[in-house]
Amino acid sequence: MKRDDSPRRRGVPDAMAVLFGLLALSNASKALQWLRNPALGGIVLLGRRIEGVVPNLLLGGVLAAFLAAYALALWRRSAGAIPLSIAYAFWVPMNLALFWYFKTGPEVPPLPVIAGYFAVAIGGSVGSALWVAYHREEFA
């Protein structure tokens, strides 16, 4: 089934597009987040929190551009959403698992908090990829 161009659109891809757009804005502001609180803010790359304003600005911009492209592809029902969803579905679980693997010390939150965060992150990344894959005929 091809995308319906009528004013009444399906809600799921539009909602995902808006949420990924907001996530892109969040990633674009990672340098500011790091400035505010270096212990909690900033980009996490391959499980390690990136230190410094310039690296966070550059990597945040790259990740924001990726997420903005994904959001736009979802909004337009573009075929580009398919490979972007696959890449993001692999990236998030890997990055998150590595982050919790490397994070040690007394500041580690309790397991239910980690599990909840992991469930939301996996639900958003893998869930959106599964939705796109299941409805791939809409993305042409």
For residue range 16-27, list pLDDT tens digits in order. Answer: 999 999 999 999
Residues 6+ apart with CB under 8 A from 27: 43, 60, 63, 64, 67
Residue 58 confidence (pLDDT) above 90: yes
Which has the higher per-residue pLDDT, 70 or 103? 70
Residue 1 lies in a domain: no
Residue 49 lies in a domain: yes
Residue 15 lies in a domain: yes
Residue 56 lies in a domain: yes
Phi, psi of 44 (to 5 degrees): -110, 120
Confidence band of 1 (pLDDT split at 50, 70, 90): very low
- Domain tally, the chain: 1
Confidence band of 43 (pLDDT split at 50, 70, 90): confident
Question: Which pTM was predicted?
Answer: 0.84
Residue 3 lies in a domain: no
> What domain range is 106 assigned to?
11-138
Residue 2 lies in a domain: no
